[in-house]
Amino acid sequence: MNPEQLRAALRVYLVLGSPNCAGRDPVQVLAAALDGGITMVQFREKGPGALEGASRLALGGALRRLCTQRGVPFIVNDDVALALELGADGVHIGQEDEPAALVRQRAPGLIVGVSAHNQAEAESAVAAGADYLGVGPQYVTRTKLDAREVQGPAGLRRMRDAGIRALLVGIGGIDAGNAAAVLAAGADGVAVVSALTQARDPRAAAAELSRVTAAPLRG
């Protein structure tokens, strides 16, 4: 996948696992979101009640097959071995996870995304070969219990102004009401969790996000 293809894929990026889906079947939630127009998926099976072992592998496989059928890239959070077993398109890692350079060695050819919360982390990730950076939290979020201080779109803008030219996706508390501000600050796309996984109608919520992000307001 070349940079322009990846940039397009990052536009509406759904991050999900069973703990995020309010008791609903994650496969059904994903199917509805895909119908609504999401462009990339990350399997993040973490938090209270997260599946383990064979159950986790089975869910990942089901989500992977659905993404393959729809032609949408499938990323695995923080588990290179699982990504390789599932035939994922990429891996996303945080600052406390395996270094990006080592992930690149273990999984050549896969997309590597890295979470970055400030300029130093962004520069380090780019130097290590990250294909894109997840920047946040943009807004208040309860999805991650260890979430850092809210950066807001201004934090993302500071990265751009300081010379970071990598592909950036904003994450943290984003929904259709505030996604445009994240794009205007310099993001190439938005990553969402509860805005879709806990929506009454995930398809409609995804369609609205797709509409809002269709014409990025880069400023």
pLDDT tens for the chain, 219 residues: list them. 899 999 999 999 999 999 999 899 999 999 999 999 999 999 999 999 999 999 999 999 999 999 999 999 999 999 999 999 999 999 999 988 788 889 999 999 999 999 999 999 999 999 999 999 999 999 987 665 455 678 889 999 999 999 999 999 999 999 999 999 999 999 999 999 999 999 999 999 999 999 999 865 444
- Distance of alpha carbon 62 from alpha carbon 48, whole angstroms: 21
Other Cβ atoms within 10 Å of 117 Cβ, number: 20
Nearest-CA neighbor of 136 among 171, 96, 178?
A: 171
Whole-prediction pTM value?
A: 0.93
**Beta pairing partners, 9:** none
Annotated active-site positions, please? 44, 115, 144
Token pair 């609205």: residue: 208
What domains sit in the chain, N to C, each tagged with a CATH number? Answer: 3-213 (3.20.20.70)
